[in-house]
Amino acid sequence: MSIEFSKKLTAHETSIPGVVLYDLPVHGDNRGWFKENWQREKMVALGLPDFRPVQNNISFNEKAGTTRGIHAEPWDKFISIATGKIFGAWVDLREGPSFGAVFTAVLDPSQAIFIPRGVGNAFQTLEDNTAYTYLVNDHWSADAQGRYTFLNLADETAAIAWPVPLENAELSDKDKAHPRLADVVPMPAKKILVVGADGQLGKALREQYDGDATVEFAGRAGFDMGSEESFTERNWKNYSTIVNAAAYTGVDTAESSEGRAAAWAVNVSGVARLARTAVEHDLTLVHISSDYVFDGVRESHDEAEPFTPLGVYGQTKAAGDAVVSVVPRHYIIRTSWVIGEGNNFVRTMSSLAGRGIEPAVVHDQVGRLSFTEDIAAGIQHLLESGAGYGTYNLSNDGEPQSWADIAADVYELSGQPRSAVTGVSTEEYFRGKAAAPRPLNSVLDLTKIKESGFKPRPAKEALKSYLGAPTAAE
Protein backbone atom coordinates (compact mmCIF):
# COMPACT_ATOMS: atom_id res chain seq x y z
CA MET A 1 0.00 0.00 0.00
CA SER A 2 1.37 3.41 -1.02
CA ILE A 3 0.77 6.32 1.37
CA GLU A 4 1.54 9.94 0.54
CA PHE A 5 3.76 11.18 3.36
CA SER A 6 3.99 14.67 4.89
CA LYS A 7 0.76 16.13 3.60
CA LYS A 8 -0.25 19.41 5.17
CA LEU A 9 -3.25 19.17 7.52
CA THR A 10 -5.97 20.51 5.24
CA ALA A 11 -9.78 20.64 5.27
CA HIS A 12 -11.88 20.14 2.13
CA GLU A 13 -15.60 20.97 2.07
CA THR A 14 -17.82 18.39 0.36
CA SER A 15 -21.19 18.32 -1.37
CA ILE A 16 -22.91 17.46 1.93
CA PRO A 17 -23.21 20.35 4.43
CA GLY A 18 -21.09 19.65 7.50
CA VAL A 19 -19.20 16.73 5.96
CA VAL A 20 -15.52 17.72 5.76
CA LEU A 21 -12.67 15.65 4.29
CA TYR A 22 -9.24 16.08 5.90
CA ASP A 23 -5.73 15.43 4.63
CA LEU A 24 -3.60 14.14 7.52
CA PRO A 25 0.17 14.49 7.83
CA VAL A 26 1.68 10.98 7.84
CA HIS A 27 5.37 10.67 8.72
CA GLY A 28 7.23 7.57 7.54
CA ASP A 29 10.64 5.96 7.20
CA ASN A 30 12.10 2.49 6.77
CA ARG A 31 10.37 1.32 9.99
CA GLY A 32 6.81 2.28 8.96
CA TRP A 33 4.70 5.36 9.54
CA PHE A 34 3.13 7.58 12.24
CA LYS A 35 0.28 10.09 12.19
CA GLU A 36 -1.75 12.19 14.58
CA ASN A 37 -5.11 10.66 13.81
CA TRP A 38 -7.00 13.04 16.08
CA GLN A 39 -5.38 16.22 17.34
CA ARG A 40 -7.98 18.42 18.97
CA GLU A 41 -6.14 21.73 19.09
CA LYS A 42 -4.94 21.71 15.47
CA MET A 43 -8.18 20.33 14.05
CA VAL A 44 -10.47 22.69 15.94
CA ALA A 45 -8.31 25.59 14.75
CA LEU A 46 -8.87 24.29 11.21
CA GLY A 47 -12.64 24.41 11.69
CA LEU A 48 -13.48 20.87 12.80
CA PRO A 49 -16.33 21.01 15.34
CA ASP A 50 -15.13 20.36 18.87
CA PHE A 51 -17.49 17.41 19.03
CA ARG A 52 -16.17 15.87 22.26
CA PRO A 53 -15.71 12.19 21.30
CA VAL A 54 -16.38 9.63 24.02
CA GLN A 55 -15.72 6.34 22.24
CA ASN A 56 -13.16 4.97 19.77
CA ASN A 57 -14.23 2.03 17.58
CA ILE A 58 -12.35 -0.12 15.06
CA SER A 59 -13.87 -2.18 12.25
CA PHE A 60 -11.47 -4.81 10.92
CA ASN A 61 -12.29 -6.27 7.51
CA GLU A 62 -10.43 -9.36 6.33
CA LYS A 63 -11.34 -9.28 2.63
CA ALA A 64 -11.48 -6.64 -0.07
CA GLY A 65 -15.06 -5.98 -1.17
CA THR A 66 -16.53 -6.07 2.34
CA THR A 67 -19.32 -3.49 2.29
CA ARG A 68 -21.15 -1.94 5.24
CA GLY A 69 -23.96 0.65 5.43
CA ILE A 70 -25.73 2.91 4.74
CA HIS A 71 -26.28 3.83 8.42
CA ALA A 72 -27.15 7.29 9.73
CA GLU A 73 -26.58 7.36 13.46
CA PRO A 74 -27.70 9.91 16.09
CA TRP A 75 -24.15 11.12 16.79
CA ASP A 76 -21.17 12.68 15.04
CA LYS A 77 -18.26 10.57 13.77
CA PHE A 78 -14.64 11.24 12.83
CA ILE A 79 -13.55 8.45 10.49
CA SER A 80 -10.09 7.42 9.36
CA ILE A 81 -8.17 4.39 8.10
CA ALA A 82 -5.60 2.60 10.28
CA THR A 83 -4.44 0.30 7.50
CA GLY A 84 -5.65 -0.53 4.03
CA LYS A 85 -7.95 1.49 1.80
CA ILE A 86 -11.69 2.05 1.46
CA PHE A 87 -14.21 3.52 -0.93
CA GLY A 88 -16.45 5.63 1.31
CA ALA A 89 -19.98 6.75 0.46
CA TRP A 90 -22.05 9.22 2.45
CA VAL A 91 -25.68 10.23 1.93
CA ASP A 92 -27.43 13.06 3.76
CA LEU A 93 -30.45 11.53 5.52
CA ARG A 94 -31.27 14.57 7.66
CA GLU A 95 -34.43 16.61 7.33
CA GLY A 96 -33.83 19.62 5.13
CA PRO A 97 -32.92 20.81 1.63
CA SER A 98 -29.78 18.66 1.37
CA PHE A 99 -31.65 15.39 2.01
CA GLY A 100 -30.35 12.79 -0.46
CA ALA A 101 -27.06 14.58 -1.27
CA VAL A 102 -24.22 12.12 -1.95
CA PHE A 103 -20.45 12.33 -1.51
CA THR A 104 -17.92 9.57 -2.23
CA ALA A 105 -14.15 9.36 -1.81
CA VAL A 106 -11.33 6.84 -1.61
CA LEU A 107 -9.62 7.01 1.79
CA ASP A 108 -6.24 5.70 2.87
CA PRO A 109 -4.42 6.39 6.17
CA SER A 110 -3.48 9.90 5.03
CA GLN A 111 -7.11 11.07 5.10
CA ALA A 112 -10.01 11.38 7.54
CA ILE A 113 -13.57 12.61 7.29
CA PHE A 114 -16.01 14.20 9.73
CA ILE A 115 -19.60 12.94 9.44
CA PRO A 116 -22.32 14.87 11.31
CA ARG A 117 -25.27 13.24 13.02
CA GLY A 118 -27.87 12.05 10.51
CA VAL A 119 -25.56 11.61 7.50
CA GLY A 120 -25.62 8.03 6.26
CA ASN A 121 -22.23 6.33 6.33
CA ALA A 122 -21.07 3.38 4.20
CA PHE A 123 -17.79 1.93 3.00
CA GLN A 124 -16.36 -0.79 0.84
CA THR A 125 -12.87 -2.17 1.48
CA LEU A 126 -10.48 -2.02 -1.46
CA GLU A 127 -7.71 -4.08 0.14
CA ASP A 128 -7.55 -7.14 2.35
CA ASN A 129 -6.98 -6.56 6.08
CA THR A 130 -8.39 -3.06 6.14
CA ALA A 131 -8.99 -1.48 9.56
CA TYR A 132 -11.40 1.40 9.71
CA THR A 133 -11.49 3.53 12.88
CA TYR A 134 -13.97 6.08 14.12
CA LEU A 135 -14.46 8.41 17.06
CA VAL A 136 -18.05 9.05 18.17
CA ASN A 137 -19.45 11.58 20.64
CA ASP A 138 -22.12 9.42 22.26
CA HIS A 139 -22.32 5.97 23.77
CA TRP A 140 -24.32 3.25 22.08
CA SER A 141 -27.58 2.33 23.80
CA ALA A 142 -30.74 0.41 22.93
CA ASP A 143 -32.57 3.75 22.82
CA ALA A 144 -29.99 5.13 20.37
CA GLN A 145 -30.40 2.15 18.07
CA GLY A 146 -34.07 3.05 17.73
CA ARG A 147 -33.02 6.46 16.39
CA TYR A 148 -30.89 5.13 13.50
CA THR A 149 -31.86 5.88 9.91
CA PHE A 150 -30.91 3.49 7.11
CA LEU A 151 -30.66 3.53 3.30
CA ASN A 152 -30.21 0.61 0.93
CA LEU A 153 -26.72 0.32 -0.53
CA ALA A 154 -28.24 -0.26 -3.97
CA ASP A 155 -30.59 2.75 -3.88
CA GLU A 156 -31.12 3.95 -7.44
CA THR A 157 -31.52 7.61 -6.46
CA ALA A 158 -28.20 7.78 -4.64
CA ALA A 159 -26.69 5.76 -7.54
CA ILE A 160 -23.41 5.05 -5.76
CA ALA A 161 -20.79 3.62 -8.15
CA TRP A 162 -19.40 0.86 -5.94
CA PRO A 163 -15.95 -0.29 -7.18
CA VAL A 164 -16.89 -3.88 -6.39
CA PRO A 165 -20.42 -4.55 -7.70
CA LEU A 166 -22.75 -5.26 -4.80
CA GLU A 167 -23.65 -8.69 -6.18
CA ASN A 168 -19.97 -9.62 -5.80
CA ALA A 169 -19.42 -7.89 -2.46
CA GLU A 170 -19.73 -9.15 1.11
CA LEU A 171 -22.95 -7.69 2.60
CA SER A 172 -24.98 -8.50 5.68
CA ASP A 173 -28.60 -9.58 5.30
CA LYS A 174 -29.65 -6.56 7.37
CA ASP A 175 -27.91 -4.14 5.01
CA LYS A 176 -29.56 -5.80 2.01
CA ALA A 177 -33.00 -5.19 3.57
CA HIS A 178 -32.68 -1.43 4.14
CA PRO A 179 -35.29 0.81 2.42
CA ARG A 180 -34.91 2.90 -0.73
CA LEU A 181 -34.62 6.68 -0.39
CA ALA A 182 -38.31 7.27 -1.16
CA ASP A 183 -39.21 5.21 1.91
CA VAL A 184 -36.63 6.67 4.29
CA VAL A 185 -37.94 8.76 7.18
CA PRO A 186 -35.38 11.60 7.49
CA MET A 187 -33.61 11.99 10.79
CA PRO A 188 -35.10 15.05 12.52
CA ALA A 189 -32.86 17.89 13.54
CA LYS A 190 -31.93 18.35 17.17
CA LYS A 191 -34.36 20.62 18.98
CA ILE A 192 -34.19 24.02 20.59
CA LEU A 193 -35.87 24.05 24.01
CA VAL A 194 -37.32 27.38 25.19
CA VAL A 195 -37.94 27.43 28.94
CA GLY A 196 -40.03 30.17 30.50
CA ALA A 197 -42.11 30.08 27.34
CA ASP A 198 -45.22 31.66 28.89
CA GLY A 199 -43.58 34.99 29.71
CA GLN A 200 -43.28 38.10 27.54
CA LEU A 201 -40.18 36.92 25.70
CA GLY A 202 -41.36 33.32 25.58
CA LYS A 203 -44.54 34.42 23.78
CA ALA A 204 -42.47 36.44 21.29
CA LEU A 205 -40.27 33.40 20.65
CA ARG A 206 -43.40 31.34 19.99
CA GLU A 207 -44.34 33.88 17.31
CA GLN A 208 -40.80 34.02 15.91
CA TYR A 209 -40.59 30.24 15.54
CA ASP A 210 -44.24 29.63 14.65
CA GLY A 211 -44.53 26.43 12.61
CA ASP A 212 -40.95 25.32 13.28
CA ALA A 213 -41.18 21.77 14.65
CA THR A 214 -37.55 21.86 15.78
CA VAL A 215 -38.35 24.37 18.53
CA GLU A 216 -40.06 23.10 21.69
CA PHE A 217 -41.65 25.41 24.25
CA ALA A 218 -42.03 24.75 27.96
CA GLY A 219 -43.69 26.99 30.51
CA ARG A 220 -43.20 26.43 34.21
CA ALA A 221 -45.72 23.59 34.19
CA GLY A 222 -43.63 21.81 31.55
CA PHE A 223 -40.20 22.67 32.91
CA ASP A 224 -39.66 23.80 36.48
CA MET A 225 -36.08 25.07 36.86
CA GLY A 226 -36.32 24.40 40.59
CA SER A 227 -37.04 20.70 40.09
CA GLU A 228 -34.28 18.17 39.44
CA GLU A 229 -36.86 15.96 37.71
CA SER A 230 -37.24 18.52 34.94
CA PHE A 231 -33.56 17.98 34.14
CA THR A 232 -33.24 14.23 34.64
CA GLU A 233 -36.40 13.08 32.86
CA ARG A 234 -35.54 14.74 29.53
CA ASN A 235 -33.33 13.08 26.88
CA TRP A 236 -30.87 15.91 26.24
CA LYS A 237 -29.30 14.03 23.32
CA ASN A 238 -32.27 15.21 21.27
CA TYR A 239 -31.48 18.90 21.83
CA SER A 240 -28.88 21.34 20.55
CA THR A 241 -29.87 24.50 22.42
CA ILE A 242 -31.63 25.79 25.53
CA VAL A 243 -33.07 29.30 25.47
CA ASN A 244 -33.68 30.53 28.99
CA ALA A 245 -36.56 33.00 28.84
CA ALA A 246 -37.44 32.42 32.51
CA ALA A 247 -36.52 34.92 35.21
CA TYR A 248 -37.61 36.46 38.48
CA THR A 249 -38.21 40.10 37.48
CA GLY A 250 -39.71 41.65 40.63
CA VAL A 251 -37.15 44.44 41.02
CA ASP A 252 -38.76 45.88 44.16
CA THR A 253 -40.08 42.67 45.73
CA ALA A 254 -36.58 41.15 45.42
CA GLU A 255 -35.54 43.51 48.23
CA SER A 256 -37.77 41.67 50.72
CA SER A 257 -36.63 38.56 52.56
CA GLU A 258 -39.04 36.30 50.66
CA GLY A 259 -38.38 38.01 47.33
CA ARG A 260 -34.62 37.80 47.78
CA ALA A 261 -34.82 34.02 48.22
CA ALA A 262 -37.10 33.66 45.18
CA ALA A 263 -34.87 35.85 43.00
CA TRP A 264 -31.75 33.85 43.86
CA ALA A 265 -33.58 30.55 43.38
CA VAL A 266 -34.69 31.37 39.82
CA ASN A 267 -32.00 33.75 38.56
CA VAL A 268 -28.99 31.92 39.98
CA SER A 269 -29.72 28.39 41.25
CA GLY A 270 -32.03 27.56 38.33
CA VAL A 271 -29.58 29.06 35.85
CA ALA A 272 -26.75 27.01 37.38
CA ARG A 273 -28.75 23.84 36.70
CA LEU A 274 -29.22 24.91 33.09
CA ALA A 275 -25.51 25.70 32.77
CA ARG A 276 -24.51 22.33 34.21
CA THR A 277 -26.84 20.58 31.75
CA ALA A 278 -25.42 22.56 28.83
CA VAL A 279 -21.86 21.67 29.78
CA GLU A 280 -22.62 17.97 30.35
CA HIS A 281 -24.46 17.57 27.04
CA ASP A 282 -22.51 20.07 24.91
CA LEU A 283 -25.53 22.32 24.36
CA THR A 284 -25.72 25.98 23.44
CA LEU A 285 -27.24 28.04 26.25
CA VAL A 286 -28.97 31.34 25.46
CA HIS A 287 -29.55 33.44 28.58
CA ILE A 288 -31.28 36.80 28.99
CA SER A 289 -29.44 39.43 31.01
CA SER A 290 -30.38 42.95 32.13
CA ASP A 291 -29.14 46.53 32.34
CA TYR A 292 -29.58 46.14 36.11
CA VAL A 293 -26.19 44.40 36.31
CA PHE A 294 -24.75 47.95 36.06
CA ASP A 295 -24.99 50.95 38.39
CA GLY A 296 -25.87 53.30 35.50
CA VAL A 297 -22.96 55.68 36.05
CA ARG A 298 -21.51 55.35 32.54
CA GLU A 299 -23.22 57.06 29.62
CA SER A 300 -23.26 53.81 27.63
CA HIS A 301 -22.66 50.20 28.67
CA ASP A 302 -20.68 47.83 26.46
CA GLU A 303 -20.36 44.09 26.89
CA ALA A 304 -16.98 44.28 28.63
CA GLU A 305 -18.07 46.58 31.48
CA PRO A 306 -17.60 45.01 34.94
CA PHE A 307 -20.69 44.22 37.00
CA THR A 308 -21.78 46.94 39.44
CA PRO A 309 -25.37 46.00 40.43
CA LEU A 310 -27.21 48.25 42.89
CA GLY A 311 -30.00 45.99 44.17
CA VAL A 312 -30.82 42.35 44.79
CA TYR A 313 -32.43 41.80 41.40
CA GLY A 314 -29.35 43.17 39.62
CA GLN A 315 -27.08 41.10 41.85
CA THR A 316 -28.89 37.89 40.95
CA LYS A 317 -28.79 38.73 37.24
CA ALA A 318 -25.06 39.45 37.44
CA ALA A 319 -24.48 36.15 39.27
CA GLY A 320 -26.50 34.30 36.61
CA ASP A 321 -24.43 35.92 33.87
CA ALA A 322 -21.23 34.82 35.58
CA VAL A 323 -22.49 31.24 35.78
CA VAL A 324 -23.51 31.14 32.10
CA SER A 325 -20.21 32.64 30.98
CA VAL A 326 -18.39 29.38 31.83
CA VAL A 327 -20.55 27.38 29.39
CA PRO A 328 -18.37 26.87 26.28
CA ARG A 329 -21.26 27.54 23.89
CA HIS A 330 -23.28 30.44 25.28
CA TYR A 331 -25.02 33.63 24.26
CA ILE A 332 -25.81 36.13 27.01
CA ILE A 333 -28.37 38.60 25.62
CA ARG A 334 -28.33 41.82 27.66
CA THR A 335 -31.53 43.85 27.35
CA SER A 336 -33.14 46.91 28.92
CA TRP A 337 -36.70 48.10 29.53
CA VAL A 338 -38.42 45.05 28.03
CA ILE A 339 -41.82 45.49 26.34
CA GLY A 340 -43.91 42.57 25.09
CA GLU A 341 -47.27 40.89 25.48
CA GLY A 342 -48.66 41.43 28.96
CA ASN A 343 -48.49 44.16 31.59
CA ASN A 344 -45.70 46.66 30.99
CA PHE A 345 -44.91 50.38 31.05
CA VAL A 346 -46.19 51.13 27.54
CA ARG A 347 -49.53 49.40 28.13
CA THR A 348 -49.91 51.23 31.44
CA MET A 349 -49.27 54.62 29.82
CA SER A 350 -51.63 53.79 26.95
CA SER A 351 -54.35 52.88 29.45
CA LEU A 352 -53.82 56.09 31.41
CA ALA A 353 -53.96 58.13 28.20
CA GLY A 354 -57.21 56.46 27.22
CA ARG A 355 -58.72 57.46 30.56
CA GLY A 356 -57.47 61.03 30.38
CA ILE A 357 -55.16 60.67 33.42
CA GLU A 358 -52.14 62.96 33.61
CA PRO A 359 -49.26 60.98 35.19
CA ALA A 360 -45.98 61.98 36.80
CA VAL A 361 -43.19 59.92 35.21
CA VAL A 362 -39.49 59.66 36.00
CA HIS A 363 -37.34 61.89 33.79
CA ASP A 364 -33.80 61.19 35.04
CA GLN A 365 -33.56 57.49 34.08
CA VAL A 366 -32.37 57.21 30.48
CA GLY A 367 -32.28 54.19 28.17
CA ARG A 368 -33.95 52.45 25.23
CA LEU A 369 -36.95 50.16 25.06
CA SER A 370 -36.35 46.50 24.10
CA PHE A 371 -39.36 45.03 22.34
CA THR A 372 -39.59 41.25 22.72
CA GLU A 373 -40.28 40.87 19.00
CA ASP A 374 -36.82 42.28 18.30
CA ILE A 375 -35.14 40.30 21.09
CA ALA A 376 -36.61 37.08 19.68
CA ALA A 377 -35.44 37.97 16.17
CA GLY A 378 -31.98 38.75 17.53
CA ILE A 379 -31.78 35.40 19.31
CA GLN A 380 -32.72 33.56 16.11
CA HIS A 381 -30.13 35.58 14.20
CA LEU A 382 -27.32 34.67 16.61
CA LEU A 383 -28.23 30.98 16.59
CA GLU A 384 -28.52 30.73 12.82
CA SER A 385 -25.72 33.06 11.71
CA GLY A 386 -22.91 31.30 13.54
CA ALA A 387 -21.99 34.47 15.41
CA GLY A 388 -19.23 34.05 17.97
CA TYR A 389 -20.31 32.95 21.42
CA GLY A 390 -20.36 35.51 24.22
CA THR A 391 -22.36 38.47 25.49
CA TYR A 392 -24.39 40.72 23.19
CA ASN A 393 -26.27 43.88 24.11
CA LEU A 394 -29.68 43.88 22.43
CA SER A 395 -32.20 46.68 22.76
CA ASN A 396 -34.00 48.71 20.15
CA ASP A 397 -31.99 51.46 18.48
CA GLY A 398 -32.32 55.22 18.27
CA GLU A 399 -31.73 58.18 20.55
CA PRO A 400 -31.90 57.32 24.26
CA GLN A 401 -34.97 58.59 26.08
CA SER A 402 -36.20 58.97 29.61
CA TRP A 403 -39.29 57.18 30.87
CA ALA A 404 -41.08 60.53 30.75
CA ASP A 405 -40.08 60.98 27.07
CA ILE A 406 -41.47 57.55 26.22
CA ALA A 407 -44.67 58.22 28.16
CA ALA A 408 -45.11 61.45 26.20
CA ASP A 409 -44.64 59.52 22.94
CA VAL A 410 -47.32 57.04 24.02
CA TYR A 411 -49.71 59.89 24.85
CA GLU A 412 -49.05 61.55 21.51
CA LEU A 413 -49.61 58.30 19.60
CA SER A 414 -52.82 57.82 21.60
CA GLY A 415 -54.15 61.24 20.53
CA GLN A 416 -53.39 63.00 23.81
CA PRO A 417 -51.09 66.02 24.36
CA ARG A 418 -47.48 65.36 25.38
CA SER A 419 -47.91 68.02 28.02
CA ALA A 420 -50.21 65.65 29.94
CA VAL A 421 -47.06 63.88 31.17
CA THR A 422 -45.13 65.56 33.99
CA GLY A 423 -41.48 64.68 34.58
CA VAL A 424 -40.21 64.00 38.11
CA SER A 425 -36.91 62.77 39.54
CA THR A 426 -36.40 59.18 40.64
CA GLU A 427 -35.89 60.39 44.21
CA GLU A 428 -39.14 62.33 44.17
CA TYR A 429 -41.13 59.56 42.48
CA PHE A 430 -40.11 56.90 45.02
CA ARG A 431 -40.14 59.09 48.12
CA GLY A 432 -41.88 57.21 50.92
CA LYS A 433 -42.10 53.99 48.86
CA ALA A 434 -40.26 50.69 49.34
CA ALA A 435 -38.27 50.50 46.13
CA ALA A 436 -35.01 49.02 44.87
CA PRO A 437 -32.25 51.33 43.63
CA ARG A 438 -32.25 51.74 39.87
CA PRO A 439 -29.50 52.59 37.37
CA LEU A 440 -30.03 56.13 36.05
CA ASN A 441 -28.41 55.33 32.71
CA SER A 442 -29.41 52.07 31.01
CA VAL A 443 -28.18 52.84 27.48
CA LEU A 444 -26.62 49.72 25.93
CA ASP A 445 -23.92 49.99 23.28
CA LEU A 446 -25.22 48.08 20.23
CA THR A 447 -22.00 47.97 18.21
CA LYS A 448 -21.34 44.25 18.72
CA ILE A 449 -24.81 42.99 17.77
CA LYS A 450 -24.80 45.23 14.69
CA GLU A 451 -21.41 43.90 13.64
CA SER A 452 -22.87 40.38 13.82
CA GLY A 453 -25.31 41.41 11.08
CA PHE A 454 -28.41 42.17 13.15
CA LYS A 455 -29.89 45.67 12.98
CA PRO A 456 -32.46 46.39 15.72
CA ARG A 457 -35.37 48.62 14.78
CA PRO A 458 -35.44 52.18 16.09
CA ALA A 459 -37.37 52.20 19.36
CA LYS A 460 -39.77 54.90 18.14
CA GLU A 461 -40.67 52.84 15.08
CA ALA A 462 -41.18 49.73 17.20
CA LEU A 463 -43.35 51.71 19.65
CA LYS A 464 -45.62 52.87 16.83
CA SER A 465 -46.00 49.33 15.57
CA TYR A 466 -46.70 48.05 19.09
CA LEU A 467 -49.49 50.61 19.60
CA GLY A 468 -50.91 50.03 16.14
CA ALA A 469 -49.98 53.49 14.91
CA PRO A 470 -48.86 54.06 11.27
CA THR A 471 -45.09 53.90 10.76
CA ALA A 472 -42.97 55.75 8.22
CA ALA A 473 -42.88 52.64 6.04
CA GLU A 474 -46.68 52.63 5.83
What is the end-to-end Cα distance of the chain in Å, rounded?
71
Could you give the count of Cα atoms lying within 13 Å of 246 in the half-sphere of its Cβ? 31
Is 92 in a helix, a strand, or coil?
strand
CB within 8 Å of 439: residues ≥ 6 apart:
291, 292, 294, 295, 296, 297, 310, 314, 365
**For the chain, how many residues are written?**
474
Strand 119-125, strand 111-115: pairing = unpaired
- Residue 426 backbone phi and psi in degrees, to 5: -60, -45
381 is catalytic: no
DSSP secondary structure, 381-444, as one string: HHHHHTPPSEEEE---BSS-EEHHHHHHHHHHHTTS-GGG-EEE-HHHHTTTS------SB-PB
Could you give the count of Cα atoms lying within 13 Å of 104 in the half-sphere of its Cβ? 14
Longest dimension (CA), the chain: 94
Angle at 398 between CA 397 and CA 401, to 5 degrees: 110
Give the relative orientation of helices 312-324 and 271-281 as an angle to the nearest 10 degrees: 10
Cα(447)–Cα(41) distance, rounded to whole angstroms?
31
CA 380 to each of CA 14, 164, 261, 385, 386: distance values in angstroms, whole numbers, following the listed order:
26, 46, 32, 8, 10
Cα(18)–Cα(346) distance, rounded to whole angstroms?
45
Cα(47)–Cα(235) distance, rounded to whole angstroms?
28
b (16+ CB within 10 A) / e for 296-316: beeeebebebeeebbbbbbbb
Using left for φ > 0, alpha for ψ between -120 and 50, and beta otherwise, residue 406 falls in: alpha
Options 22, 132, 134, 209, the catalytic residue: 134
Strand blocks (E) in 197-318: 215-218, 239-244, 284-290
**Residue 197 burial class via C-beta count within 10 angstroms: exposed 0-12, middle 13-18, buried 19 and up:** buried
134 is catalytic: yes
Is 108 in a helix, a strand, or coil?
coil
379's enclosing H/E stretch is helix 372-385
Active site residues: 71, 134
